[in-house]
Amino acid sequence: MMAAIASRLQRLLYLRKAAQLVWRSTPKLTLANIVLVFLQSVLPLASLYLTKLIIDRITEGISTPQTSLQPVLLLIAIAALVAIIGDGLRSLAGWVSEAQSQIVTDYVQNLLHSKSIEVDLEYYENAQYYDFLHQAQTEASYRPTVIVNRFIQLGNSSLSLIGIGLLLFSFDWAIALILIIAAIPVFLVRLRFSQQLYRQWQQWTPQERMAHYYSTLITQVDHAKEIRLFDLGELFGRRFNTLRQAIRQQRISLSARRSFAESITQSSATLAVFTAFALMADRALMGAITIGSLVMYYQAFQRGQTLLRESLSYLASLYENSLFIANFYQFLDLKPMIVEPIKPARLPATLEGRIEFDRVSFSYPRSERSVLEQLKFTIEPGETIAIVGENGAGKTTLIKLLCRLYDPTAGAIRLDGIDLRDLSPSEIRTNISIVFQDYAHYHLTVQENIGVGDIQNWDNLAPIQQAAQWAKIEPTILKLPQGYDTILGKQFINGEELSIGEWQKVAIARSFLRQNHPILILDEPTSALDPQAEAEILEQLNQLTQKRTSIIISHRLSTVKFADRILVLKEGKMVETGNHRQLMEKSGIYATLFNTQAHYYR
């Protein structure tokens, strides 16, 4: 019982937060909406009263032939003016609502983007997070605006309903009671099916995400070659249709049950209208009211029934939206796992770049497998370290820890003697230049593709050109139609595609753009390059790693020969260390790996 009450209170809180969100993003438009609501709520009453006056004047004129037409025409003109004003207010309200909706949608998207950037990498490796994100993205972009509009519409209907209710109550309290009772079943049906829809929607989310994934596989360029070569289009299309059909059938079934229930309850409301009409007709026949009053009360009852049904519908809609908007605010309430220190330590103004791994162990969340175990080593300032090992040895995970994308499960990582957990993550990352193995392909201009490596130089072409020259990619760039202003990739008009090796050179240029950063990390920096291009890049790397603490990860052991020291990982443990010559003399794991690769070149 207490849990149910707490849940309802929480939903009310979400409604209030949604209203506050809309007010923060569009205060002037929200105020304009409120004023328009008040004005639109008054006009129906004025229209009803004018209708009564017109009919009564006409009735009097029929019994008195000498009556002038002028008073009737004046009343009709006033009624027409009221109707025109109403039309104008509705049009203005529509524009205000559309403008507000556009602004709020963008505002909500910005909140989603900010939270997506804020949460840690751990969330992106959790399927439940993607369900959560999908629910927030599909509903949150429009729900806050709907909630505020429902509040406004509820206010509009309620104000008009109060006036009409008082009018009917002054005529006959029984008719006012019929009005209320007839609308309640429709309201209860709407509440019931709102709850069912929400429960179904939560169950559909994984299926909808999977269907979207199959759609992406079929329509996006990333998998286009294999889709065609392996004839996968029909298979993935069939799976998409199977998932969508299951969801579609459940939606249609739910809609059918809802429509049937609403038709039954709506029939009772229709009977109530004619019952009230009969009572009014009886009064008119007895001479208790005029024909104009009969028309006014009958229209008031019809209008009142519509307003009451709308008001209850808006209440049900608010309830429904409170269910769906909950996912959005729960998403915004996600907390980063990488905790920002309350009082972060400060790195020295001139960072030396000494890195210490002190008995570091790590396991990924929701996994019992240990990826790194008791790693203990120190990288001295200016030293170039290579990390090698088989797939799954923990090489890239080590780099993620150093960038503080994760925190160690045990042990500590220190930078110039300071534990990374005592530093702000942003301060750590501003001192690191890195190229990951799965580097990004930005469908932006060449200048922007390189400039993302250091946003301080985003608009400064000179250092970008220098980085491109070091990465040996400038000759390719100069051959592009617009040079550094050429858009890369084929997603946008006039885009130019690069080869995999050329894309990798662009990624390397990003890291070279941060030439003044004291720590350089290269994860498989030459995996897509041909031997000659690799040799050129390695020569440049030799120059750029001077006086910088550098870490290079590579399966191609020719890349790591120039390193001052090589660390060999196996199953998360460091099993060998030394330079190339020392490790070859040991005839251990490194020598075996090197000789295995060298065998294919002999």
For residue 481, what are the contacts with CB-CB under 8 A and spacing of at least 6?
494, 496
Listed range (20-29, 75-84, 257-266, 571-580) with the worst mean pLDDT:
257-266
Give how far Cα 298 sits from Cα of 16, 45, 176, 437, Å. 37, 13, 12, 75
3-state DSSP of 220-258: CHHHHHHHHHCCCHHHHHHHHHHHHHHHHHHHHHHHHHH
Would you state the pLDDT for residue 326? Answer: 75
Q: What is the pLDDT of residue 527?
A: 73
User: Can you give the pLDDT at residue 426?
Assistant: 85
pLDDT at 521 over 80: yes
- Tell me how far apart the alpha carbons of residues 414 and 402 are, in angstroms, rounded to a whole number: 9
CA atoms within 13 A on the CB side of 504: 18
**Cβ partners under 8 Å of residue 487, min gap 6:** 443, 444, 445, 494, 495, 496
SS3 of residue 406 by DSSP: coil
Count of Cβ atoms closer than 10 Å to residue 555 Cβ: 16
**Predicted local confidence at residue 176, as pLDDT:** 65
Q: What is the pLDDT of residue 601?
A: 57
Rounded mean pLDDT of 5-25? 70
Q: What's the whole-number mean pLDDT along residues 461-481?
A: 91
SS3 18: helix
CA distance 326 to 312: 21
Q: Which whole-number Å values give the CA distances from 539 to 455, 552, 562, in the listed order?
A: 26, 14, 10
**Domain range 15-332, its CATH number among 1.10.1040.10, 3.40.50.300, 1.10.357.10, 1.20.1560.10:** 1.20.1560.10
For 417-441, b where at least 16 C-beta lie within 10 A, e where not — what string? ebebbebbbebbbebbbbbbbebeb
Which residues have C-beta within 8 Å of that of residue 126, sequence separation ≥ 6? Answer: 365, 366
- DSSP of 47-92: HHHHHHHHHHHHHHHHH-TT--SHHHHHHHHHHHHHHHHHHHHHHH
pLDDT at residue 414 above 90?
A: yes
Q: Judge whether residue 7 has pLDDT over 60.
A: no
Q: Is 367 exposed, middle or buried (0-12, 13-18, 19+ CB in 10 A)?
A: exposed
What ranges in 141-172 are assigned the alpha helix state H?
143-171
**What integer pLDDT is reported at residue 456 of this predicted model?**
80
Place 3 in a pLDDT band, splitting at 50, 70 and 90. Answer: low
What does the pLDDT average to over 193-216? 77
Whether pLDDT at 234 is above 80: yes
Which of helix, strand or coil describes residue 412? strand
Q: Containing H/E element for 280? A: helix 233-285
Check residue 246 and give its pLDDT.
85
Given the DSSP bridges, would you call strands 410-415 and 432-435 parallel, antiparallel or unpaired? unpaired
Mean pLDDT for the stretch of residues 137-166:
71
DSSP classification of residue 340:
P
29 has pLDDT over 70: yes
Do 448 and 388 touch, CB atoms closer than 8 A?
A: no
Q: How far apart are CA 403 and CA 422, in angstroms?
A: 13
What are the residues whose beta carbons fall under 8 Å from the beta carbon of 435, sequence distance 6 or more? 507, 508, 510, 511, 521, 522, 523, 525
* Residues facing 199 on adjacent strands: none
pLDDT for 313 beyond 80: no
351 DSSP assignment: -
Taking each continuous run of H as one helix and of E as one strand, the counts in the chain are: 18, 10
- Which ranges in 531-588 belong to alpha helices (H)? 531-544, 580-586
Segment (H or E) for 414: strand 410-415
What residue type is 125 in one-letter code? E
Q: Are the CB atoms for 325 and 14 separated by under 8 Å?
A: yes
**Amino acid present at 109:** Q
Domain boundaries, the chain: 15-332, 350-431+519-602, 434-517
- Confidence label for 478 from pLDDT (cuts 50, 70 and 90): very high
Could you tell me whether strands 432-435 and 519-523 are parallel, antiparallel, or unpaired per DSSP bridges? parallel
Average pLDDT, the chain: 80
Q: What value does the mean pLDDT take over residues 517-539?
A: 77
Judge whether residue 536 has pLDDT over 80.
no
Q: Does domain 350-431+519-602 have CATH number 3.40.50.300?
A: yes
Instruction: Return the higher-pLDDT residue of 234 and 185.
Output: 234
C-alpha to C-alpha distance for 54 and 41, rounded to whole angstroms: 21
Residue 353 pLDDT greater than 60, yes or no: yes
Please give the pLDDT value at position 476: 92
**Choice between 468 and 282, residue whose per-residue pLDDT is larger:** 468
% of the chain exceeding 90 in pLDDT: 12
Span 163-182, average pLDDT: 69
Binned at pLDDT 50, 70 and 90, residue 602 comes out as low
pLDDT exceeds 60 at position 2: no
Q: What is the pLDDT of residue 600?
A: 61
Reduced to 3 states (helix: H, G, I; strand: E, B; else coil), residue 388 is strand
For the chain, give the percent of residues with pLDDT over 70. 82
Q: What 3-state DSSP class applies to 566?
A: strand
Name the least confident of 268-282, 394-408, 428-442, 571-585: 268-282
Q: At 111, is the pLDDT very low, low, confident or very high (cuts 50, 70, 90)?
A: confident
Contact 165, 176 (CB under 8 A): yes
pLDDT at 274 over 90: no
DSSP 382: T
pLDDT at 249 over 80: yes
Give the C-alpha separation, 181 to 275, whole Å.
13
Q: For the residues 412-430, what does the mean pLDDT come to? A: 90
Q: What H or E segment, with its residue span, contains residue 330?
A: helix 291-332
Strand order in the sheet with 418-419: 370-379, 355-363, 410-415, 418-419
* Topology, domain 434-517: Rossmann fold (3.40.50)
Q: In sequence order, what are the residues at sequence separation of 6 or more whose Cβ sits closer than 8 angstroms to the Cβ of residue 86?
A: 40, 43, 47
CATH topology agreement for domains 15-332 and 434-517: no
Instruction: Note the Cα 501 to chain centre separation in Å.
Output: 33
